[in-house]
Amino acid sequence: MATTPSVDRQTFLANLRQSGLLNDEQLTVAARQLPETNRGRLVARALVDQGILTKFQAERLLAGRTSGFVLGQYRILDELGQGGMGRVFKAIHKTMKRIVALKVLAPQFVDTEKAQLLFQREMRALAQLLHPNLVTAYDANQVGNRHYLVMEFVDGPNLDQLVRERGPLPVGQACEIIRQAAQGLQYAADMGMVHRDIKPSNLLVLLPGLRRKQYTVKILDFGLACLWQRDTSEWDGAGSVTTRSNTILGTPDFVSPEQAHDLHAVDVRSDLYSLGCTFHFLLTGQVPFPGGSTLEKLIRHSTEEPLSVAELRPEVPAGVAAVVRRLLAKDPAERFQTPAELAAALEPFAEVEQISWLPPRPIPPTTDPLITPLPETAPTSSSDVMAALVSTFPPDLCPTPISGTKLASASRLVAFDAKERQRVKLAIVLAIGIVAGALGLACCMSLW
């Protein structure tokens, strides 16, 4: 356990009683089995060993926390991650005993009546998505001023973690993973939904279990992109919302060229571009345009061709390299037009190779669950201050938000101001103009 202040037995048990984790009868039964010691830490360790408390709960009780352990019908077991949208906890339904993931939204996303109506609308749409390759949403509710989403708990890594831990994946396995993701995208597209933030950390791997002979890829966070809309004054309660002009949605390493210009001028082909960037990452271990600032990444997505996966990894079959190249076409009309078309193209190359995963040793969280509010902007890193303009978990961190694995740092929200957004547009237009001018000059010289 993490180092905590010394607490005696009586104080620890008093904290436990106030927490609501055990009722009086359960506490009486548990107390009979405790060791004869006055040290609260030894008492806590005994309760953890007996499975009565989790380490997460015990650490907070030892630290003097007596609230934040229960949310509605759910008992909080552990903290899985945190990001710009809020915190994610592993929890259990008190009656049904079902393990779930709770995403508790940061207050700023539901601080107005219209924002709450938008949350309810998006969650109703999300409830209609029932597919093996999508994370299932069970419930969306409110307790006091806390709005939360109850989701399927996926005990396995996300693809960012998998690649960073293992390196580039076997070609057949990467093809199978993308094929499954395409099936999920096709279902969502048929239901009229576009994800807008496909990336490795939003693709989770449900590992084989008693009832599953092979892993299943599941897409996370459908329907949450619109909640980044802060100014809901232009939303009429029925149609789509308009994103604030000083905000770009997406993750720069995986965002499509058209989405960088206009969030709403996108369809499923934008998700396919992002899936192509993810495919490139699975095969090579690097994003299509590594290095550089956020502005440079956005420009390169619109104006440059990435290094081919065949150049970076010569053993990749020509057919697979061609699939990646087509997914990364600048013009949506030149990409696969539907996820089903992509899935069919990958069928000959896909191989089901089992994935074994031992999660990293968890690092105890340092913040109080459900109590400490998230800041609107968190500290930035020295690597790229705009690693994720708007994203639940950016690519330089990417904790699995609905899995048993855990990383320590918080993700970040960075919004361009209006001048920065204008710079992006001007830079892209200027770059395209320069390329077009050079081509025109070359043509004139050839004619001369």
Kindly list the catalytic residues: 197
What's the rounded Cα separation, in Å, for the pair 293 and 404? 32
Residues of 54-86 as b/e, b for ≥16 C-beta within 10 angstroms? bbbbbbbbbeebeebbbbbebbbbbbbbbbbbb
Q: Which helix (H) or strand (E) holds 104?
A: strand 99-105
- Count of C-beta atoms within a 10 Å radius of residue 163: 22
Question: Token pair for residue 247?
Answer: 């905000």
Q: Which of 92, 137, 140 is nearest to 117 (CA)?
A: 140
Question: Following DSSP, what letter does each residue of 228-294 receive, concatenated?
Answer: G---GGG--SSS-----TT---B-TTT--HHHHH-TTS--HHHHHHHHHHHHHHHHHSS-SS-SS-H
Q: What is the CA radius of gyration of the chain?
A: 24
* C-alpha pair distances (Å), 9 with each of 111, 115, 386, 406: 41, 45, 47, 30
Q: How far is CA 159 from the centre of its chain?
A: 11
What's the rounded Cα separation, in Å, for the pair 51 and 48? 5
Tell me the one-letter amino acid at 307: L
Q: How far is CA 251 from the centre of its chain?
A: 11
How deeply is 119 buried, as exposed, middle or buried, from its count of CB atoms within 10 A (0-12, 13-18, 19+)?
buried
Residues 6+ apart with CB under 8 A from 143: 71, 72
Three-class secondary structure of residue 61 per DSSP: helix
